[in-house]
Amino acid sequence: MRTAPTILHLDMDAFYASAEQAAKPSLRGKAVVVGGLGPRGVVATASYEARKLGVHSAMPMGQARRLAPNAAYLVPRFGLYREISEQVMALLRELSPLVEPLSLDEAFVDLEAGGVADDQASALAVGERLRADIKTVTGLPGSVGLAASKMLAKIASEEAKPDGLRLIVPGTERELLAPMSVRTLPGVGPATGDHLRRGGITTVGEIAEAGEDELVRLLGKLHGSALYAMALARDERPVVAERESKSVSVEDTYDVDIHDRVRVRGEVARLADRCVERLRAAGHSGRTIVLKVRRFDFSTLTRSETLRGPTDDPGVVREAAARLLESVDTTGGVRLLGVGVTGLADYTQEDLFAQARAEGLERGAGEAAGAVPEEAVGAEEVEEPSVEEVPLGARRWAAGHDVRHAVYGAGWVQGSGLGRVTVRFETPGSAPGRVRTFRVDDPELSAAEPLPLVAPPGEGAWPCPLG
C-alpha cells in the first residue's frame, strides 16, 4: 500500500437534492426529496434537512411523505444532473489521467499518477482546491476523502460529509478502523453483517482479532480472506481510468399493476427501443438480451437469450424481448418491466435480424428463455432510478421541472392536478419567487430547458422571472 494519501475519493453531497436546492432559491435550507412521485415511487436522494426527519434513499415515497409531510417532492431532472456531472468529471481529469467514475456524483482519482501530489501536504492542498473549484463551477458542495487506498479514501469522504474534507494519515488506518462497524467495509451488507454478529463479531477490530482462519470458516475462502485483509487496512486495488460497462438496461415501475397482455407487450417493445438508444449513445452493441419482470406478488423473474453476435438493431432487441416475454406468466399483473443488453462489444453483426428470427423459429421461445438469477441483472446495470422523465414539451407537468411563461418568465412546476398547474417563478440567481396557478393547457406556458446553476462567465446573470 502507498505511504502517502494520494488517492482521492469525491462524493457530491445529496447530489440530486443539492442540485434542486441550488436551482430553486425557495427550497434552500428546506427538506427536499427527489424520486418517483407515484404510489410505488422510491426516494432517489433526500437533502440533509430531509434526512434529519428520517428520509433516506431507496425508501418508499409513501413512507417518506409520512415522515416529512412538508418537504418538497420533485421528479428527477437527469439531463441537468448529467451536465453537472460532466463538469465535475472534467475538473477531476485536470488533476490526473486516472479517474474512476463510480456514478454521476462519485469518483476515485489517483493524484500521484497526475503528478499533483506526492505527500500529505500536497494532497491536502489539492483536495481543498478541488472542493473550491467544484463550488465555483457548479455551485454545489462536495466531500473529499484522501488516503493511501481506495477503501480508506471512500471511508474518509463519508466521514467528511457534508461539504468537508478528511485525510487519513498513513499508519493510523488500523487504529481508525478498529471501533467502526463491520458494515463500514466494502462488501459487508445486512446478510454478511448478521452472519458476523452471530459469530460474535460486530466491529472491524474484532474481525482483525478473530484471524483469517475464523473469517474463512464463517464466510468462505474468498470472502473471508478479503474481509480480513480489509480489516487490516490492506487494499491494493488501483484506480482504473476506464471501467468497462457490463450491461445497458432500462426499466419502469408502474403505479398500477398492468394486467392487459397487449399493453405488457407494448411496454416491453418501448423499453427495448429505449435500451437500444442508450446502447448506441454509449457506442456499444451487445449479444445477450435480458428481460426483467416483477409481478404483482413482488416475485422477480429474469429471462435471457444470447445471439450469435452483437447487435444494436432495435428490431432484433424488440423481437428477442418479445420472445422472452412469451415464457412469463403475467396474468396476475405486472408492477415492473425492464429490458437490458449484456455481452457488450464495440461492433455489430449486420445480419442478426434475420438470424434472430430464424433462431426463434428453430428453438422456440421457451427454450430460448432460460431463467437466470435476479442478481445477473442487478442494480449496477440500471444507471438511474426507475422514474419516468417527462419529455420536453409534453403537456404533463412534473413537479420540479422547468417551464417558461410568456408573461412571467422562467419558473418551475410546484404541483399540478384538477386541470391546474402551480408554478413558482424564480431562477438560480434570483430571490425566492412568487407562485401563480394556470390551466394545464394555458398556451402561454411551455416546458423549458434547465438553467445552469452558475451563470456562465461573461454572459451576465440568468434570465430573471418577470413576475
Q: Which residues pair with 251 in a beta bridge?
A: 338
pLDDT at position 456: 66
- What's the rounded Cα separation, in Å, for the pair 263 and 254? 12
CB atoms under 10 Å from CB of 273, counted, come to 16
Q: Which one of the listed residues 20, 49, 100, 106 is annotated catalytic?
A: 106
pLDDT at position 461: 55
Rg over CA atoms, the chain: 25
- What's the rounded Cα separation, in Å, for the pair 201 and 224? 13
Domain with CATH 3.30.70.270 in the chain: 1-171
Domain with CATH 3.30.1490.100 in the chain: 247-381
Its pTM stands at 0.72
Locate 167 and state its grid cell.
Answer: 485525510
Locate 260 and state its grid cell.
Answer: 392487459
Number of H helices, E strands in the chain: 15, 18
Domain with CATH 1.10.150.20 in the chain: 175-231
Would you list the DSSP string of 403-423?
Answer: EEETTTEEEEEEEEETTEEEE
Place of cell 424520486: 35
Distance, CA of 272 to chain centre: 20
Topology of the domain comprising 1-171: Alpha-Beta Plaits (3.30.70)
pLDDT at position 360: 44
* Ramachandran assignment for 210, one of left (phi > 0), alpha (psi -120 to 50 degrees), beta (any other): alpha
Hey, which CATH number is domain 390-467, 3.30.70, 3.40.50, 3.30.300, 2.30.30?
2.30.30
**Do residues 250 and 382 make contact, with C-beta atoms less than 8 angstroms apart?**
yes
Place of cell 413558482: 424
Which of 334, 237, 243, 340 has its CA nearest to residue 288?
340
- What's the rounded Cα separation, in Å, for the pair 423 and 363? 55
Phi, psi values for residue 41, rounded to 5°: -70, 160
Cα dihedral 302, 307, 313, 316 in deg (nearest 10): -70
Domain with CATH 2.30.30 in the chain: 390-467
CB atoms under 10 Å from CB of 393, counted, come to 8
Q: Does domain 175-231 have CATH number 1.10.150.20?
A: yes
pLDDT tens, residue order, the chain (467 aa): 789 999 999 999 999 999 999 999 999 999 999 998 877 788 989 999 999 999 998 899 999 999 999 999 999 998 899 899 999 999 999 999 999 988 889 999 999 999 999 999 999 999 999 999 999 999 999 999 999 999 999 999 999 999 999 999 999 999 999 999 999 988 788 888 888 999 899 999 999 999 999 999 988 888 889 899 999 999 999 998 866 667 888 988 887 889 999 999 999 999 999 999 888 877 788 889 999 998 888 788 889 888 877 888 889 999 999 999 998 989 889 989 999 998 887 655 443 333 444 444 343 333 333 332 222 222 223 333 333 333 334 457 889 999 999 999 999 999 988 899 999 999 998 999 999 999 999 999 999 989 888 876 655 555 666 54
Place of cell 463519508: 158
Topology of the domain comprising 247-381: Dna Ligase; domain 1 (3.30.1490)
pLDDT at position 309: 78
Locate 254 and state its grid cell.
Answer: 408502474
Annotated catalytic residue 106: yes
